[in-house]
Amino acid sequence: MEEQVQDMSGGNHAFFQLLGSVNNTNIDLVDNTLLQDLSLLSVPNQNGLLPIQVAANRGYSPLIQLLAKHGADIEVTTKDGKTPVMLACQSGSLYAVHAFNQCGSNMISRDSYGRTLMHYAATVGAVHTMHYLHVNCNLAYDAKDNDDYTPLHLAVWNSHMQCVTYLLKNGRCGDVNAANVYGTTPLAVAAKNGSRSIARHLILSSKKNLLLSKDGNGMTPVQHALHGGTDKFKEFALQMSLWTTEQLTAGRSLMPSYDTLTWYFVFFLPGSALTLAAVLFTLIPYLSVSIPLALAIVIFGFFAPLNNHRLPTDSGLQNPAPMGAFLAGLTITVICYFTLVWPRLWPDNWYWFIIIAFDYIGIIYLFWKLEYTDPGFEYVGKRSEDGRPLTIVDVAGQERGSGIQYSFCTECEIVIPEMAKHCKLCSRCCNNFDHHCLWLKMCIGANNHHTFVIFLFLLSLDNFLFVRGGCSILALLSGTYDPWVFLKYAMVHEKFLIFLMLCNFLTGLFGMMNLLYQLSIISAKETTYFDSKGLAAFGRKRDRQKLSVVTRLRNIKTFFFNGRHKKQEFSSNTFMV
Ligand SMILES: [Zn+2]
Ligand SMILES: [Zn+2]
């Protein structure tokens, strides 16, 4: 060890090698080396970079703090006037930027092009750093450099969608269409780059018709896009005017826009496919034709549209197909039960009707409840021990390597609490996040997890009761309880009923499997998202096997009795502020 340290101080090359690879376990080595020879701090490497600049480029905060402690010059600039904190911004590390701020770096400095730290953060799409710079250092989102480039220009230039969204939110970036000294607007940059979603975002976020604005060379964004030459660029140019129409008519037009029509089409697709399959299966007398045909329609019209989370169109709206499928399935079953099954069994087996009627009432009530209650969205964020909501500064100053790392949600602008997750489809952080249910178009979390599980139970019960009712009818009509005989009878005389029974049976099976899975994770005080693996991220890995049956049953009881696991059971006090 002693020898190694001397070797380090003996040669600069070795010292820079150490700086390039140092981590939490051997950072003392740098400390010892510097204690022996402080002059190392002012000797550059072969690229002309000083140790503090190398540390900034790496974005490794403990090293930055250490070098600054030993007196490294934290305001030293490169040829183009970049300070070390600018290099740290460029590295994308919020921790490194915070470390420089803590050491007293000048956070409002500009390089020789007049660029601020905000410009540097926007160039690499470091949204967390941008938020930090504004909240903690009062840096402007709409700062202009010597050529009037704004952070928005640079974010668009480098296609950082999340960063563009952040800058456009709440009018942060000021004028969306601010041009630089060459007359180039952010939209012109997006048009030249062919950045479709960014261009759409820019157009929709402005009240003006941005397509009419010409740049310094007298070119409109559409002309810039057409300049791209390829068919893709031509289509993009055409699309831009469509978005402008959408933006100009939003809220005023009675005609649904092209995306609304797509939404309704996809919403009704699964239900229509199911109905069509049922009708064709019933009407076509040849099984060798009707079965493959019905199967193909169900696969392509019912299952295929369920696959995506979002519509494949520019708006990226949430895919309504699963909810459409769910509601269609429920509606078809209810109608068929009360027209096909009930009248033919009444008044015998009356108790089944009572049960199924209550089941339907329960399903509709819980569906309404799930749709209209807050699933447990978080609005304040994680708090410190004295109850103060944590901020991005607390996140930036976290002890590294402590095992528990909290992150900041730039969309909700809160520190994400333990067991919470940001749902991109709901655009909110949800506590005790289980999953985002596409069938209900709703997050399942702290407030509605128990409702969801009961809902799942009632749905499966409904499916099996329908099958049970169908069996009674077939037995009655065929005059036998021999399943093979009445199945043969059904395939000739009651094909529509048997189709529905099959659908209900499969859905019921699917629901039951989900229900069992839910009970297993609830009994371990987990959620679908934060299962043993997810909890391990918080340094609290639980071994499912070790839980006794009694513990599991008690956990399930607590879950239903309290509506959820108590929040404090999940929160950890190990995070010091
Ligand atoms: Zn969030
Ligand atoms: Zn959600």
Strand, coil or helix: 113: coil
Lowest mean pLDDT among 3-17, 84-98, 135-149, 236-250: 3-17
Domain regions of the chain by residue span: 2-186, 187-253, 325-376+434-577
- What pLDDT shows up at residue 316? 78
| Interval between CA 97 and ligand 1 midpoint (Å) | 23
Mean pLDDT of 314-326: 88
pLDDT at 172 > cutoff 60: yes
Kindly identify the ligand whose nearest atom is closest to the C-alpha of 423: 2
pLDDT band at 431 (very low <50, low <70, confident <90, very high): very high
Mean pLDDT of 376-402: 86
> What gap in Å lies between CA 152 and CA 160, rounded to an integer?
10
Kindly identify the ligand whose nearest atom is closest to the C-alpha of 376: 2
Task: Report DSSP letters for 131-159, one per residue.
Answer: HHHHHHH---TT---TT---HHHHHHHTT
- What pLDDT shows up at residue 528? 86
Kindly identify the ligand whose nearest atom is closest to the C-alpha of 433: 2
- What pLDDT shows up at residue 512? 94
| Interval between CA 15 and ligand 2 midpoint (Å) | 50
| Interval between CA 308 and ligand 1 midpoint (Å) | 22
CB 312 within 8 A of CB 444: no
Alpha carbon of residue 122 to chain centroid: 21
| Interval between CA 520 and ligand 2 midpoint (Å) | 22
| Interval between CA 424 and ligand 1 midpoint (Å) | 8
Residues 432-458 have pLDDT tens digits of 999 999 999 999 999 999 999 999 999
- What pLDDT shows up at residue 523? 87
pLDDT band at 35 (very low <50, low <70, confident <90, very high): confident
- What pLDDT shows up at residue 354? 83
Tokens of residue 367, six digits:
């569906």
Residues 96-132 have pLDDT tens digits of 999 999 999 999 999 999 999 999 999 999 999 999 9
More confident residue, 261 or 444: 444
Amino acid at site 498: I
Q: For residue 380, is it left (φ>0), alpha (ψ between -120 and 50) or beta?
A: alpha
Q: What percent of the chain has pLDDT over 90?
A: 40
Tokens of residue 132, six digits:
């930090």
Alpha carbon of residue 493 to chain centroid: 49
- Give residues with Cβ within 8 angstroms of 17, minimum separation 6: none
Mean pLDDT of 318-343: 88
CB 300 within 8 A of CB 349: no
CB atoms within 10 A of CB 475: 16
Kindly identify the ligand whose nearest atom is closest to the C-alpha of 443: 2
CB atoms within 10 A of CB 451: 18
> What gap in Å lies between CA 348 and CA 345, rounded to an integer?
6
Say how many residues make up the chain.
577
* Mean pLDDT, the chain, whole residue set: 85
| Interval between CA 208 and ligand 1 midpoint (Å) | 30
- What pLDDT shows up at residue 253? 46
Instruction: Give the H or E element holding residue 343.
Output: helix 342-345
pLDDT band at 350 (very low <50, low <70, confident <90, very high): confident
pLDDT band at 402 (very low <50, low <70, confident <90, very high): low
| Interval between CA 394 and ligand 1 midpoint (Å) | 17
pLDDT band at 269 (very low <50, low <70, confident <90, very high): very high
C-alpha distance from residue 144 to each of 103, 115, 180 (Å): 26, 7, 8
- What pLDDT shows up at residue 11? 54
Mean pLDDT of 267-275: 93
Kindly identify the ligand whose nearest atom is closest to the C-alpha of 436: 2
Kindly identify the ligand whose nearest atom is closest to the C-alpha of 426: 2
Top-ranked range on mean pLDDT: pick from 45-49, 354-358, 361-365, 415-419: 361-365
Tokens of residue 257, six digits:
């826009």
- What pLDDT shows up at residue 337? 84
| Interval between CA 444 and ligand 2 midpoint (Å) | 7
> What gap in Å lies between CA 239 and CA 246, rounded to an integer?
11
pLDDT band at 574 (very low <50, low <70, confident <90, very high): very low
Mean pLDDT of 477-501: 83
| Interval between CA 523 and ligand 2 midpoint (Å) | 23
> What gap in Å lies between CA 172 and CA 192, rounded to an integer?
24
- What pLDDT shows up at residue 347? 77
- What pLDDT shows up at residue 538? 55
ipTM: 0.98
More confident residue, 389 or 492: 389
> What gap in Å lies between CA 278 and CA 261, rounded to an integer?
25
Upstream peptide bond of 285 is cis (omega within 30 degrees of 0): no
| Interval between CA 425 and ligand 2 midpoint (Å) | 5
- The fold for domain 2-186 equals 1.25.40
Alpha carbon of residue 21 to chain centroid: 33
Q: Which residues of 318-332 are buried (b: 16+ CB within 10 A; e: fewer)?
A: bbbbbbbbbbbbbeb
| Interval between CA 424 and ligand 2 midpoint (Å) | 7
Q: For residue 208, is it left (φ>0), alpha (ψ between -120 and 50) or beta?
A: beta
Tokens of residue 366, six digits:
């819980």
| Interval between CA 529 and ligand 2 midpoint (Å) | 12
| Interval between CA 202 and ligand 2 midpoint (Å) | 25
Amino acid at site 124: V
| Interval between CA 420 and ligand 1 midpoint (Å) | 9
- What pLDDT shows up at residue 88? 95
Find the DSSP H helices in 194-227.
Answer: 196-205, 221-227
> What gap in Å lies between CA 530 and CA 513, rounded to an integer?
19
Residues 513-554 have pLDDT tens digits of 999 999 988 888 888 888 766 655 555 555 555 778 888 888
Mean pLDDT of 215-229: 83
Q: Tell me the torsion sign for CA atoms 344, 349, 353, 355.
A: negative
Tokens of residue 494, six digits:
């009651």
pLDDT band at 189 (very low <50, low <70, confident <90, very high): very high
pLDDT band at 255 (very low <50, low <70, confident <90, very high): very low
> What gap in Å lies between CA 563 and CA 560, rounded to an integer?
5
Cα torsion through 518, 519, 521, 526, rounded to 10: 90
Strand, coil or helix: 322: helix
pLDDT band at 328 (very low <50, low <70, confident <90, very high): very high
Kindly identify the ligand whose nearest atom is closest to the C-alpha of 421: 1
In the block, which residue shows the tokens 């989900």? 514
pLDDT at 566 > cutoff 80: no
pLDDT at 219 > cutoff 50: yes
pLDDT band at 1 (very low <50, low <70, confident <90, very high): very low
DSSP 306: G
More confident residue, 400 or 325: 325
